[in-house]
A and B are shown apart, each in its own frame.
Chain A
């Protein structure tokens, strides 16, 4: 009888301890990548948002945008292409 009383807590602890250890390990593994990234971030930071080069160049050159009218779409596209080209010219300086 006395032996039984001492065995029950032992059986419980035998079951609980590995469970706690297992759960803790799973939780740690679950968060490990996040902890590493928070400690030593290797991410480049916020996304860099940018303008459309062609539109900005058109504006800087004070070239008005052509209203969409019949037959004008090609001129508009052509102006945009030229502006995109002009945008990169200053970047060719060393």
Chain B
């Protein structure tokens, strides 16, 4: 836990030192490298948001002759397929892959793999249906692959429906800490930049050699992150490549999403732990960062247990009691820090010029308590499936409402 505490400070100070007086991040140089790109958009019952994204896709500034867009209508029961077909009929570079029930609906990794087999681009980018990128995002992401060592790339996610309610506000805080500080520091320090599964992409040849996305884990993005590094490639994070996302807006949706992430991370931990330790392609600091990344969803459990043990010792009058008074606040800090480090979030907001939102930071304590049972359940389920030898992973999709439209600065979207 102390390691995480130190890490948060190192990350935050690194980003603070790396920014200029205008609080702007170090801008990534625009590269004229323009490889062929396939954009995969997995969509399961996304009728409320898919049109918004596809409209934006038609406005992308990347040369259309180098662009292939594949919408995966993954066993949708709403109008997702019809909307996608409308855009396919109108634009030659957009294709639609319809997957019926039985074949489809098995999760994002399976949908992406199906589309990947039809992709022709040198680079494969992924966007979730509720995302809304800047028009020049493909240049900003694909340009990073000019470096042959780069295996994958990740852009910045910004919460679109942030003012909607307290849940979206808290998710936005976590995202700011994660993408404005955490990811940028990893990029700066040449650690393990994380591929987030969307607003990012992978080199096709590398993805082919890895046999696509692993459909057995729930965090296919974290799995790919580790696989890319273990294959000897790097992941670049470009903070300038920004994209809106629609955050979960209820505690129930939050719980489902975090459970999926927690369980997926734990699956990746068991899958990659020894490979990371033994790897000759990772240096020591990359190994440490990779292990900290894999371990992150165990932390609420460990912190809770240590707090519980600490309180027991206090009540039973252990001679260690004096030491525990120091230990408990450190636990508490680290506890919170794993999901939305106060310091990181505060600095992230400061760098984004949003000091007023810092007033909400104390509320992150609620996400902390909410995450404890989620992580316990995830660990229990992972352990059960390990013991029984059965993979019980079921992909639970996050529902999107399209509520964020009013915040998009685009007349065509607002008119519709």
Contacts and interface: CB of A to CB of B under 8 A. Distances in A.
Interface of A: 30-31, 33-34, 36-38, 41-52, 54-56, 58-60, 64-68, 76, 80
Contacts of B352: 47
A46 B407 contact: yes
A29 to B, nearest CB: 10
Interface string B235-264: 000001011100000000000000000000
Given A34-B361, A34-B362, 18 more contacts: A33-B360, A33-B362, A37-B356, A43-B163, A46-B163, A46-B172, A46-B404, A47-B352, A49-B244, A50-B134, A51-B134, A54-B30, A58-B61, A59-B62, A60-B61, A68-B31, A68-B32, A68-B33
Given A34-B362, A49-B244, A80-B30, A56 B136 contact: yes
22 contacts: A34-B359, A34-B361, A37-B356, A37-B357, A37-B359, A38-B169, A42-B356, A43-B356, A45-B407, A46-B244, A46-B404, A47-B158, A47-B352, A49-B158, A49-B242, A50-B242, A51-B135, A54-B30, A56-B61, A56-B136, A59-B61, A59-B136
Contacts of A41: 163
Interface residues of B, number: 39
B215 interface: no
Nearest to A68: B32
Contact of B162 (A36, A45, A68): A45
Interface of B: 30-34, 61-63, 134-136, 139-140, 146, 158-163, 166, 169, 172, 240, 242-244, 352, 354, 356-357, 359-363, 404, 407, 409
Contacts of B159: 46
Contacts of A59: 61-62, 135-136
A2 to B, nearest CB: 32
Among A49, A56, A60, A65, find the residue whose CB has the most chain B CB atoms closer than 10 A: A49
Contacts of B146: 68
A37 B358 CA distance: 9
A2 B86 CA distance: 88
Given A46-B160, A47-B354, A33 B30 contact: no
A55 B356 contact: no
Contact of B166 (A38, A49, A51): A38
Q: Please name the 6 residue pairs, one residue from A and one from B, whose CB atoms are nearest each other, closest first.
A: A59-B61, A33-B359, A49-B242, A37-B359, A55-B136, A46-B162
A83 to B, nearest CB: 11
Nearest to A76: B32
Contact of B135 (A44, A56, A68): A56
A30 B30 CA distance: 44
B357 A43 contact: yes
A81 B377 CA distance: 55
Nearest to B163: A45
Given A49-B158, A68-B31, A31 B363 contact: yes
A31 B357 CA distance: 13
Contact of B359 (A36, A45, A51, A68): A36
A59 B160 CA distance: 26
B136 A65 contact: no
A52 B362 contact: no
A43 B354 contact: yes
A66 B362 CA distance: 50
Nearest to B241: A49
A48 B356 CA distance: 16
B407 A55 contact: no
A50 B62 CA distance: 16
